[in-house]
Amino acid sequence: MRPLRSLLAGVFAPAVIASSLLAAPAMAQDEQLPHENWSFRHLFGTFDQAALQRGFQVYANVCSNCHSMQYLHYRDLAGIGLTADQIKAVAAGVTVPQGTDDQGNPKDGPATPADQFKSPFANEKAARAANNGALPPDLSLIVNAREGGPDYVYGILTGFAQAPAGFKMQDGMNYNTVFPGHQIAMPQPLSDGSVDYADKTPNTLPQEAHDVVTFLSWAANPELVERKQIGVRVILFLVFMTGITYAVKRRLWANIEH
């Protein structure tokens, strides 16, 4: 037995050590990302409503010029704390196709809360033509669709910089410290003073980026707050039931030799 055991230990210890060492560089990649303090991240975290509304303002004024959010409807904005009248007003400010008129001709009109967020371009080709061949991705799920989530999107928005000397840039591309390969087609979208906040919050770049990423995180996971609230109750219930069933089982088995 003894030689066998040491043989096994000899085979496996190096394998385990090697694999833990190999895992290290994979984590190191994450270091470049900024670590923002997100209100919604921790176990019981919720969305900061003021940040959500400011973030929507940033999206509406800046991002929406190129990026669609096709899986959201104007009615969803109730989730960031807008009233029914405010939502109607937001929707009414947008012109969307509304089927056909009595003569069968296509007709446009103001959007209603039931409409999808209007996309800035009619189709992919139009979007590419207007953006130097690049397609601005839909932002409905962008926070979930990127490794690193909100930190990654925040990192992109705040990561624009001068390319280091000797770095070869392709035509029309921009240098970004966080983007894989460091060349991104999107020009720097936000800078200090890009939007004037209605609530007089200082409109610095980090503030704007933080707000819009909060908004995008909500857009990707609008159920997050309700989900966590239900989750707490469900898990408390199950822990309670575990206790009860354990007590029942103990009592039942008390007279069995096992």
Partner 1 sequence: MAGLHKSEFANPVVNWIDTRLPIFTMMQKEYAVFPTPKNFNYLWNFGALAVVTLTVMILTGIFLAMNYQPNTQLAFGSVQHIMRDVNYGWLIRYVHQNGASMFFIVTYIHIFRGLYYGSYKTPRELLWMMGVVILLLMMATAFMGYVLPWGQMSYWGATVITNLFSAFPIVGPKIVTLLWGGFSVDNPTLNRFFALHYLLPFVLVGVVFLHVAALHITGSNNPLGIDVKSPQDTVPFHPYYTAKDSIGICVFLAIWAAFVFFAPNVLGDPNNFIPANPLQTPADIVPEWYFLPYYAILRSVPNKLLGVCMMFGSLLVLFVLPWLDTSRVRSARFRPVYRWLIWVWVAAFVVLGYCGMHKPEGIYVVLSRLATIYYYLHFLVILPILGKLERPLPLPESISQPVLGRRGGGPLPGTAAAKPMEKA
Query: Which residues would be at the binding site for partner 1 (CB under 8 A)?
Result: 1, 4-5, 8, 11-12, 15, 18-19, 22, 43, 70-72, 76, 137, 140-141, 144-147, 149, 220, 222-223, 227-228, 230-232, 234-235, 238-239, 241-242, 245-246, 248-249, 252-253, 256-258
Shortest CB 236 distance to partner 1, Å: 9
Shortest CB 174 distance to partner 1, Å: 21
Choice between 93 and 231, CB closer to partner 1: 231
**How big is the chain, counted in residues?**
258
Choice between 94 and 141, CB closer to partner 1: 141
Shortest CB 110 distance to partner 1, Å: 22
> Distance between CA 157 and CA 165 in Å, rounded?
22
Shortest CB 221 distance to partner 1, Å: 9
Choice between 71 and 197, CB closer to partner 1: 71
Q: How many CB atoms lie within 10 A of CB 205?
A: 16
Choice between 122 and 165, CB closer to partner 1: 122
Choice between 155 and 195, CB closer to partner 1: 155
Burial class (CB in 10 A: 0-12, 13-18, 19+), 170: exposed
Could you write out the DSSP letters of every residue in 64-120? GGT---TT-BGGGGGGGT--HHHHHHHHHTSEEEEEE-TTS-EEEEE--TTSBPPPS
User: Which residues fall within 8 angstroms of residue 75, CB to CB, at 6 or more apart?
Assistant: 87, 113, 114
Shortest CB 196 distance to partner 1, Å: 31
Choice between 41 and 107, CB closer to partner 1: 41
Shortest CB 84 distance to partner 1, Å: 18
C-beta of residue 92 within 8 angstroms of C-beta of residue 111: yes
User: Which residues fall within 8 angstroms of residue 227, CB to CB, at 6 or more apart?
Assistant: 221
